């Protein structure tokens, strides 16, 4: 088997050849998104407006007010949309609530903060408390509902879907987060991994069956570097930490999960040779922030919006609570509230996905060279 670089060049050559023969050139002009708080642009705000993410100082950097995003500003999905010249992707439940579904032809975001890949009942049976039941299954039901409405009112609905970029995640992180918050063991949490992967694979298969042709599937971030986990699992044993001060055992679990996810994506590529399946390597795109934060202008693992402790995180007084204030300049921090990142960190990660080596095959190649949503991809790692 050839190298990844060789496979990428072969795929690119095939894509260009197909394009020259057929004359098709369908750049991604629409985004449909599924996931959790790393992608939610306002759905949970419709469901539960009292959630802490919707109080000041959330949204202070870019929007200057809470925007329905669990950060101080824009998320990865916002920067991807900007890079493609696409308007910010609106939350589906907001459009539905205000009778604005006609604008969903320009894209829709089905992600809900706190969501899991697995259904609520699966986690409940295992003694794990999830914050909501807006799982990937529920989000797919919303998409089918939207698609039915779109196809009832538009003859080009299938063209819209084929020319769209589908962001399938990040999703699954909360399945592990909820278990970790309850201090479940890693061996027990690893037993959930096949089920999480199956939920994501099933969603990808269904979206392709519904006409999706370009799908980005992200892995998880380095959870061992988050202030919340560093506080919950703080230890006097220096061997539990890496050279950056992150929890080694937790990042090793994330690496394990991400490797399994990539294997599933490779299997899906063989099953769907006419779809573009992009693995978004959030983990390695984020690592430079922690490996050398001072060179990049960040102060390390301490977060912007918190209330004391070595990482400025306090489980009893979190960002959004009365009396908890944010730093003066969030752009100088990686972590925003202990679990979510700042706009500056999300921008850095997105740049690594679009312009760097952290998307496989390269997102820039597929989505910026008229070789994207309308083309067939034979990239197989």
Three-class DSSP category at 367? helix
Distance CA 375, CA 274 (A): 8
> Residue 176: its pLDDT value, please?
98
Q: Which range is least confidently modeled, 16-20, 24-28, 76-80? A: 16-20
Please say if the pLDDT value at position 42 is more than 70.
yes
| pLDDT tens-digit map of 227-280 | 999 999 999 999 999 999 999 999 999 999 999 999 999 999 999 999 999 999
Q: Is residue 72 part of a domain?
A: yes
132: containing domain: 27-295+337-367
- pLDDT given at position 369: 53
- Known catalytic residue: 360? no
Q: What percentage of the chain reaches a pLDDT higher than 90? A: 74
**What is d(CA 344, CA 332) in angstroms, rounded to the nearest whole number?**
8
Q: Is the residue at 21 inside a domain?
A: no
Residue 38: name the closest of 64, 77, 10 by CA.
77
How many domains does the chain divide into?
Answer: 1
Spatial CA neighbour of 171 closest among 300, 277, 63, 33: 33
Residue 243 in any domain: the answer is yes
pLDDT at 106: 78
Q: Report if residue 17 sits inside a domain.
A: no
Q: What does pLDDT average to over the chain?
A: 88
**78, 115, 175, 340: which is the annotated catalytic residue?**
340
pLDDT over 70, % of the chain? 88
Q: Is residue 60 part of a domain?
A: yes
Note whether residue 281 is domain-resident: yes
User: Which residue among the candidates 40, 135, 337, 359 is catalytic per the annotation?
Assistant: 337
CB 268 within 8 A of CB 207: no
3-state secondary structure of 36: coil
Of 67-71, 239-243, 297-301, 370-374, the one with minimum mean pLDDT is: 370-374
- Look up residue 87 and give its DSSP letter: P
Compute, in degrees rounded to 10, the torsion defined by CA atoms 367, 31, 39, 168. Answer: -80
pLDDT of residue 39: 98
On the CB side of 15, how many CA atoms lie within 13 Å of its CA?
A: 28
Active site (annotated) includes residue 121: no
The residue from 33, 36, 37, 164 that is catalytic is: 37
CATH of the domain at 181: 3.40.50.1110
Sequence-distant (≥ 6) Cβ neighbours of residue 359 within 8 angstroms: 216, 278, 279, 280, 281, 353
Are 12 and 4 contacting, i.e. CB atoms less than 8 angstroms apart? no
Sorting pLDDT into bands at 50, 70 and 90, what band is 99? Answer: confident
Q: How confident is the model at residue 338 (pLDDT cuts 50, 70, 90)?
A: very high
Task: Give the pLDDT confidence score for residue 368 in this predicted structure.
Answer: 63
> Is 340 among the residues known to form the active site?
yes
Tens of pLDDT, residue by residue over 342-365, are 999 999 999 999 998 999 998 877
* pTM of the model as a whole: 0.90
In order of 5, 9, 78, 226, 306, the CA distances from 381 in angstroms are 9, 12, 29, 31, 42
Cα torsion angle, 58, 63, 65, 69, sign:
negative
């Amino acid at each position: 088997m050839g190298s990844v670089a060789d496979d990428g060049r072969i795929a690119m050559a095939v894509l260009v050849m197909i394009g020259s023969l057929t004359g098709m050139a369908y750049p991604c002009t629409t985004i449909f998104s599924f996931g959790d708080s790393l992608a939610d642009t306002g759905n949970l705000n419709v469901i539960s407006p009292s959630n802490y993410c919707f109080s000041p100082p959330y949204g202070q950097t870019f929007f200057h007010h809470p925007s329905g995003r669990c950060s101080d500003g824009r998320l990865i999905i916002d920067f991807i949309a900007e890079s493609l010249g696409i308007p910010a992707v609106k939350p589906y439940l907001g459009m539905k609530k205000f009778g604005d579904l006609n604008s969903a032809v320009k894209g829709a975001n089905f992600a809900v903060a706190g969501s899991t890949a697995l259904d609520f009942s699966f986690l409940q049976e295992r003694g794990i408390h999830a914050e909501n039941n807006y799982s990937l299954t529920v989000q797919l039901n919303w998409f089918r509902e939207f698609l039915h409405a779109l196809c009832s009112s538009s003859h080009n609905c299938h063209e819209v879907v084929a020319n769209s970029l589908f962001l399938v995640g990040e999703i699954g992180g909360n399945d592990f987060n909820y278990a970790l918050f309850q201090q479940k063991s890693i061996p027990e949490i690893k037993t959930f991994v096949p089920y999480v992967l199956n939920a994501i694979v099933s969603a990808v298969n269904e979206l392709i069956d519904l006409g999706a042709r370009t799908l980005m599937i992200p892995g998880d971030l380095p959870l061992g570097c988050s202030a919340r986990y560093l506080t919950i699992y703080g230890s006097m044993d220096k061997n539990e930490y890496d050279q950056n001060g992150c929890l080694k055992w937790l990042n090793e679990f994330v690496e394990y999960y991400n490797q399994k996810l990539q294997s599933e994506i490779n299997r899906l590529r063989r099953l769907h040779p006419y779809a573009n399946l992009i693995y978004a390597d959030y983990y390695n795109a984020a690592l430079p922030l922690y490996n050398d934060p001072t060179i990049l202008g960040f102060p390390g693992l301490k977060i912007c919006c918190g209330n004391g402790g070595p990482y400025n995180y306090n489980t009893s007084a979190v960002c959004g609570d009365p009396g908890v204030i944010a730093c003066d300049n969030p752009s100088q921090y990686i972590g925003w509230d202990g679990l979510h990142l700042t706009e500056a960190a999300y921008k850095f990660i997105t740049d690594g996905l679009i312009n760097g080596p952290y998307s496989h095959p390269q997102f820039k190649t597929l989505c910026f060279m008229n070789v994207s949503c309308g083309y067939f991809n034979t990239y197989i790692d």
